Structure 1
Amino acid sequence: MKPRFSLLAFLVTATAYPTRKSLGFGPHHPTARYVTRPDNNCTLAFTAEADPLDVARAFIHSLTESDYYIRNDSYTDENTRITHVYARQLFHGLEVADGNINLNIRHGRVLSFGDSFCRGLALPLDAYPSTSLASFCADFAAQSFVLSRGSQSVLSERSKAMKDWFSVHCARPLAAVQQAAMADMNNDVSNPRRAALYFMIAAHPDPLVVDQLVREFRTIIANMTTVHEYITIGLDTHQSTTLSDLPGTVNPIKVRMVYIQIPTGNTTALLATWRLEVEMAHNWYEAYVSVHDPSAIVSVIDWASDSSAPSHGGYLNALEAKLDSPRRYTEAGAYKVWRWGINDPESGERTVESASYDPVASPLGWHAIPRRSNPDGSPDWIGKGAGDGAEYLNFTTTWGNNVFAHENWKGSNEWISNYRPEGGENLGFTFEYEADGDYKNYVDFSITQLFYTSNMLHDLYYRYGFDERAGNFQQDNFNRGGRGNDSIIASVQDGDGFNNAYFAAGPDGQHGRCRMHLWNTATPYRDASLDAGIVIHELTHGLSSRLTGGPDNAGCLPWGESAGMGEGWSDFLATTIRSTEDYHDYATGSWVSNHPGGIRKYPYSKDISVNPSMYSTIDDPEVSRKHDIGEVWAEILWVVSQKMIEKHGYSPTLFPPAPMEDSSIPLGDFYKQSHIKGGPLVPKHGNTLMVQLAILGMKLQPCRPSFIQARDAIIHADQILTGGENACILWAGFSSRGLASQNSSSMARPV
């Protein structure tokens, strides 16, 4: 079948998303590959102690003669001792933005690698791109026509959603861009201001603003300010531009010229584009616009991911039992919350929990930041009035090294001075919650719950490998690697819409933004911050985004199967965290949506009669939204995890044991001995091991992975951790849902 663009997860109703619109599309890479059993002949001369970067250079030289540079976000995993090396292609000194090689190296050998380097040449500068927003929309329209002819029974609601989506994302933007282009007589291809304005015309959700942008096109161009700077890429210095004063942005736009790959038959060629980093009120875009024709938008990635509106399926959600909290390492602080493992207000009672922070993941606890990393304008800290010169600042509100949590009733992008509850020097966050009361009356509790859940998740993922080197979200990285100053900015009761929640994750060193909305699905409204599954789903986008393709590449889960898997990992891990030894099926978002079936088509179940999702399901034209694709991936992972639990049993806690005085980690009842001497720590139970395999798989897999490549990465992760002890179980689980070794999707979705 002809490769095509993916139909993304934006078939939503206006009532669910009154202000949010998201573009996402791009070209297919027919030559991209992921190899788990590479030929290491070129590395045989290296000893086990060889520099992994030297090994990487030798291996890349055996693959290609292209120029490249090794990115600074390459790192060595503390547990597996695998060095993850990320190389970016260069052509005539310019970056190939989607030309990536990732190598997983240990003991002088390449264990696996992904490769999307271009083997073709550059297109002429005046070449018109064969892929663009216009061609994406034409492809969407053609598929919608096929669907409408063959699926008469679903015409009403589904086809209306498609038409609404097409109008908002295709028809109106293309018409506006064309109107602006007719009046644009400027042929200067050296100035990126036109590209930025054309993109904003296509991307802005408000038709009135778009109309203004079109009418005042020349004036806006003239009023935009440009600042040039020079940055080092590889061994070369390149010009980077910052554009300010473009209506619709909340921060200046970062621009530089790069190549992007365009499919030409069975290979790709290079097109010169402007790479735009555009932060808007509800989106954070990485966009590519043709240098020759700035009205041609070639590829768009939205770093912000949201939760979909409810799709009622009529399935019941069993109430989960209380799950034991992780080991309490300190008694400092008290939070009256639904403790870790209790998903929502219908799943258990609130209790007063001590601050169960993990000393490895959060060495200062949850309410302290080194002075050197504390943002200007922060709340007061203990002792500030005395003019102390303390190195570490201790706060008494929901402000800490991992998370800044606060209200955002105005729905603005301001956050430093937003309201936060006060816990006093004893950190007592024991606020009341009245389910039948006005949401503003319990905002202190809502902020506390979001702060608690977010910190617990930070500490959990840290212990499974999402640490500073891997690009996690922390204000200060304690000299452990990676880039700091990127703690999560988390807002509750966000006033920019209803029935949604979303997370925006840029490259390492830039704050993650988490916005939790009210849901008008009940009276009084329901607060998404109180549904741990929704919170964990959103925050897990930061995990999958930073681990796939490396911490500095936020665009590796952009569309198609890869975007769907971003949603799937979020659902799977959120469901795993709430699960108990007494097996249940689980619906996502049932409480916040006020519907027992939740916001997915099916509950997650090991019973195929309850959830019939198969790998082939994504070939259905109706399964075009990234959340639809994600449901399939999450269900496959859920089925695989249940087989792992059947073999290895179930751990009542996902949290590893605390380190001993000598900093070593005891095996206890959590880990088992590695299959190799001095090997990595390996969780011994099925649920904990599956979490570890999923997270390590993200590190191993290539940028823009397919289902098959992600499956292979998980199986490869098991080979690394256990010597392949679970290969048969994993293959059986994947195959039971159609993801056998010989299968591939007929949709040829972009990877």
Structure 2
Amino acid sequence: MLPTGLISLALLLAGSVHGRKTMGWGHTSPEHRFVVHPQVPASFLAEDAAPFDVARQFMNHIYPGDYRIRQDSYTDKATGVTHVYVKQQHQGFDVFDGNININIKNGKVLSYGDSFYKGTPNREGSQVVLNSLTADSSSPADLRKTLMNFMIIAAPSDRATSELEVNFNQYLEGIDVTPESHFVEGEQPYTYFSNVPTAVSPVKGKPGYVQTESGLKFVWKFEVEMEDNWYEVALTPDGDEIPFVVDWAADSPIPDTLKSKDPKPATYLLFPWGVNDPSEGNRSYVYENYDSLASPLGWHKIPASSLPSGYFAPTPPKKGDIVNFTTTFGNNVFAHENWEGRNAWLHNERPDGGKGLNFSYPYDPQQSADGQAEAHKFINNTVAQLFYTSNLVHDLFYRYGFDELSGNFQQHNFGRGGAEGDAVIANAQDGSGYNNANFMTPPDGQNGRCRMYLWNTASPYRDGDLEAGIVIHELAHGLSTRLTGGPRDSSCLGWGESGGMGEGWGDFLATIIRTHNATDEEIVLPMGAWAANRDKGIRNYPYSTSLDVNPSTYKTLDRPGYFGVHAIGEVWAEILWVVSKKLIAVHNSSDTLFPPKPLDDGTIPSEDFYLPPSYDNKGRAEPLVPIHGNSLIVQLVLNGMKLQPCRPSFFDARDAIIQADEILTGGNNTCLLWSGFAERGLGPDARVDGRTPWGGGIRTNDYSVPLSCITDEPEPTPDTL
């Protein structure tokens, strides 16, 4: 927990990313744990027991206090695993950082993550709650002052900070407070704060608790959307302390079952999928090669009932209509220019492919005294490229399990569950900065926002929208944030190793997607090299299995310069890259990561992508298992995200990937996976000594593998309960 007097120091440590100030810190419970194969009473092992009944029995067994099961819990259609998300409560209020996630299949608890508060709440905390709802000093109306003080800290510039300080009372009086008129049973309702300076939408707030080193502390949690940030922040009612703050925006800086009546596909003249950037190939004509399972309507259609709020059509559609767009506007992605760099997007300019949906535009930038103006000439090509890449990423992630129930980004969910109305808002050539990209991931049901920038690293300027790896990295932030800890909790990857892995998954997925010859052990792949005009890219090292090229190990995180999430992330991405090569060496590599499309009857052919279908003893189909190493590691990484706890460590994420293989293949690759992790120091005996709730500690590498991988003897299973 940081007193407001230490915020300037925290901001110095958090840093700014090319003019975009950002903050992120919080308390991690020292009792945080991720337990695989927990010991449970025999009564829990009824195979036909309902998963939520198993979850309640399990919770009552391990925790005697109050809790609620979150509504975004779901059963994964691909694996059959039910992911149950549990929120700790105290005196009817949520403990915002008290989370348990339970993974259940066939009546069995496979694993669980636990960050519940285990201490005895003090009486002072209870009295604060009672007073906070009655005393004038802590009423929502007076919380305006607390919120204003945070806005001064979060203000994007010194000029904005000064403006808020000088005119504090004027802005304070302009804030309107409106209680929520409806609420979800078991949860505290939100209070809305309108006209908050530098916020671009009403600020949502609700009371609750957070964990601190001294016990539970009563706070108000706010969701603050700004032009360049989207904060989830906990504030004590007096405004003196900020226990945690998470920025839902993540950067990639340079160092320093409906069917359409009109199935005609669109045509694009673009850099095709597999060409990472203009240095790797030429543009060619490609088609709207959408996946019929992931995008039943294709990429340019939206049901009228799911059009974004504020959209105006010359001819208002009827409720049951499917609206066909001739622009880069569809169910998964809204792509457009954003030269002004503002929050408004709905009516920004988009290329129009006409009735034939032909998106073919020139792209031939030349050296110019005004690099920005030269880049703007080719905006239609840029927006079309961003739209094409983003839709393919949506479809690819969908086929590996990032679907409606697990929190993907779609305006319409086709009755498949999850919260809808949250297609990705994709800003091309965003005018709010250079040499960067970022993605904002609010909880399920709110639009994700991808901002791509020009890079003034060369003449002519280089356009980040044209480097697929950067786009994939940004979209992967939405993937990892929604899958970790459940789709309606965006606070799980905010800082430290957790925040770093959010960056690392993006780099890893971008790297494995671009790989043309995944079996080449000598391949060296930098991240962002073309946009940055820098051979080694935007990381300290390019990705390679060679220790001479990339020497990163788990212990590397102790080195100076590895405090920030991007440096942490490249270590995690390198570890995953080495793990992927272990699987590829045994299982070879597929030419494509896209699974075969479903047949007319909805079944998915195995072809040469999956192992032949298998069934359990009750005749139920088991999850399809990718044959090849590159497709298998992508599947295991995504499945692992669903299994791991909120705010995972490297150890948690490693164990979740290994358990994902146990669930998917019966553990056929356990030792391969361990050998990959161990090669970069993340073996079973790797450890951190002296870790504090805020991070830090001294790491020790372990290059060994479990005894069972050497002797075939099973590992002893500790009694974890």
Check whether TM > 0.5.
Answer: yes
Equivalent positions of 1:425-464 (< 5 A) are 425-436=355-366, 438-464=374-400
User: Which amino acid in the other structure matches residue 652 of structure 1?
Assistant: D
**Structure 1 gap ranges (5+):** 130-185, 312-328
User: Which amino acid in the other structure matches residue 227 of structure 2?
Assistant: A
Deviation of 1:387 (Å): 7.0
Partner of 1:147: none
In structure 1, which of residues 290, 300, 303 is the aligned counterpart of residue 248 of structure 2?
A: 303
Deviation of 1:254 (Å): 0.5
CA contact (8 A) 2:305 2:320 kept: no
User: Which amino acid in the other structure matches residue 255 of structure 1?
Assistant: G
| Whole-Å separation in 2 of the counterparts to 1:255 and 1:356 | 42
Deviation of 1:666 (Å): 1.1
**Structure 2 gap ranges (5+):** 1-6, 129-135, 257-261, 368-373, 696-721
CA deviations over 1:398-436 (Å, ceiling 9, x no partner): 000000000011111111100000001111001110132
Deviation of 1:674 (Å): 5.9
Deviation of 1:347 (Å): 0.6
Deviation of 1:378 (Å): 3.5
Partner of 2:269: 336
CA deviations over 1:541-568 (Å, ceiling 9, x no partner): 0000000000000110010000000000
Deviation of 1:747 (Å): 6.0
In structure 2, which of residues 334, 340, 348 is the aligned counterpart of residue 418 of structure 1?
A: 348
CA deviations over 1:495-535 (Å, ceiling 9, x no partner): 01111110000000000000101111111211110010110
Deviation of 1:619 (Å): 1.7
CA contact (8 A) 1:537 1:570 kept: yes
Partner of 2:467: 531
Deviation of 1:28 (Å): 2.4
Equivalent positions of 1:302-451 (< 5 A) are 302-310=247-255, 332-378=265-311, 380=313, 385=315, 391-436=321-366, 438-451=374-387
CA deviations over 1:24-68 (Å, ceiling 9, x no partner): 001121011111111121643x63222211110000111101111
Deviation of 1:205 (Å): 2.1
| Whole-Å separation in 2 of the counterparts to 1:128 and 1:616 | 45
| Whole-Å separation in 1 of the counterparts to 2:316 and 2:445 | 32
> 1:342–1:128: structure 2 CA closer, same or farther, 3 Å change rule?
farther
CA deviations over 1:176-218 (Å, ceiling 9, x no partner): xxxxxxxxxx954663212211111111121122122223333
In structure 2, which of residues 456, 459, 468 is the aligned counterpart of residue 520 of structure 1?
A: 456
| Whole-Å separation in 1 of the counterparts to 2:316 and 2:508 | 48
Q: Do structure 1's residue 666 and structure 2's residue 605 form an aligned pair?
A: yes
Partner of 1:78: 77
Deviation of 1:673 (Å): 3.5
| Whole-Å separation in 2 of the counterparts to 1:682 and 1:543 | 21
CA contact (8 A) 1:696 1:714 kept: yes
> 1:296–1:10: structure 2 CA closer, same or farther, 3 Å change rule?
closer
| Whole-Å separation in 1 of the counterparts to 2:690 and 2:10 | 14
User: Which amino acid in the other structure matches residue 229 of structure 2?
Assistant: N
Partner of 1:212: 163
> 1:576–1:400: structure 2 CA closer, same or farther, 3 Å change rule?
same
Partner of 1:731: 674
In structure 2, which of residues 585, 589, 593 is the aligned counterpart of residue 646 of structure 1?
A: 585
61-70 or 192-201, which deviates more: 192-201
| Whole-Å separation in 2 of the counterparts to 1:43 and 1:76 | 22
| Whole-Å separation in 2 of the counterparts to 1:210 and 1:387 | 45
> 1:192–1:375: structure 2 CA closer, same or farther, 3 Å change rule?
same
CA deviations over 1:679-717 (Å, ceiling 9, x no partner): 111101000000000000000000000000000000000
User: Which amino acid in the other structure matches residue 587 of structure 1?
Assistant: P
TM superposition score normalised by structure 1: 0.85
CA contact (8 A) 1:8 1:560 kept: no
> 1:634–1:9: structure 2 CA closer, same or farther, 3 Å change rule?
farther
RMSD of equivalent CA atoms: 2.3
In structure 2, which of residues 647, 662, 665 is the aligned counterpart of residue 704 of structure 1?
A: 647
Partner of 1:249: 199
SS at match of 1:496: coil
111-120 or 188-197, which deviates more: 188-197
Equivalent positions of 1:546-625 (< 5 A) are 546-581=482-517, 583=520, 584-625=523-564
CA contact (8 A) 2:125 2:218 kept: no
Q: How many residues align?
A: 661
Deviation of 1:388 (Å): 6.8
SS at match of 1:683: coil
| Whole-Å separation in 2 of the counterparts to 1:711 and 1:653 | 25
CA contact (8 A) 2:11 2:23 kept: no
CA contact (8 A) 1:9 1:627 kept: no
627-636 or 518-527, which deviates more: 518-527
| Whole-Å separation in 1 of the counterparts to 2:108 and 2:193 | 44
Deviation of 1:235 (Å): 3.4
In structure 2, which of residues 186, 211, 228 is the aligned counterpart of residue 282 of structure 1?
A: 228
SS at match of 2:430: strand
CA contact (8 A) 1:379 1:417 kept: no
Equivalent positions of 1:462-481 (< 5 A) are 462-481=398-417
Partner of 1:316: none
Equivalent positions of 1:106-117 (< 5 A) are 106-117=105-116
Partner of 2:40: 40
CA contact (8 A) 2:476 2:505 kept: yes
| Whole-Å separation in 2 of the counterparts to 1:694 and 1:8 | 32
Partner of 1:17: 18
| Whole-Å separation in 1 of the counterparts to 2:610 and 2:312 | 41
| Whole-Å separation in 1 of the counterparts to 2:14 and 2:46 | 55
CA contact (8 A) 2:18 2:253 kept: no
CA contact (8 A) 1:195 1:274 kept: no
Partner of 2:714: none
> 1:497–1:12: structure 2 CA closer, same or farther, 3 Å change rule?
farther
Partner of 2:718: none
Q: Do structure 1's residue 225 and structure 2's residue 213 form an aligned pair?
A: no
| Whole-Å separation in 2 of the counterparts to 1:395 and 1:308 | 33
TM superposition score normalised by structure 2: 0.88
SS at match of 2:193: strand
Partner of 2:710: none
CA deviations over 1:346-366 (Å, ceiling 9, x no partner): 011111001110000000000
CA contact (8 A) 1:588 1:598 kept: yes
CA deviations over 1:266-304 (Å, ceiling 9, x no partner): xxx21001101000110000000112x313222100000
User: Which amino acid in the other structure matches residue 515 of structure 2?
Assistant: S
In structure 1, which of residues 710, 713, 720 is the aligned counterpart of residue 663 of structure 2?
A: 720
> 1:56–1:127: structure 2 CA closer, same or farther, 3 Å change rule?
closer
SS at match of 2:86: strand
Q: Do structure 1's residue 689 and structure 2's residue 619 form an aligned pair?
A: no
CA deviations over 1:426-452 (Å, ceiling 9, x no partner): 110011101326111110000000000
Deviation of 1:591 (Å): 0.5
In structure 1, which of residues 518, 522, 543 is the aligned counterpart of residue 479 of structure 2?
A: 543
Q: Do structure 1's residue 201 and structure 2's residue 201 form an aligned pair?
A: no
CA deviations over 1:141-187 (Å, ceiling 9, x no partner): xxxxxxxxxxxxxxxxxxxxxxxxxxxxxxxxxxxxxxxxxxxxx95
Percentage identity across aligned positions? 48
SS at match of 1:717: helix
Deviation of 1:244 (Å): 1.2
Deviation of 1:226 (Å): 0.5
| Whole-Å separation in 2 of the counterparts to 1:529 and 1:13 | 25
> 1:261–1:589: structure 2 CA closer, same or farther, 3 Å change rule?
same
CA contact (8 A) 2:125 2:216 kept: no
| Whole-Å separation in 2 of the counterparts to 1:386 and 1:21 | 41
CA deviations over 1:586-616 (Å, ceiling 9, x no partner): 0000000011111000000000111000001
> 1:733–1:331: structure 2 CA closer, same or farther, 3 Å change rule?
farther
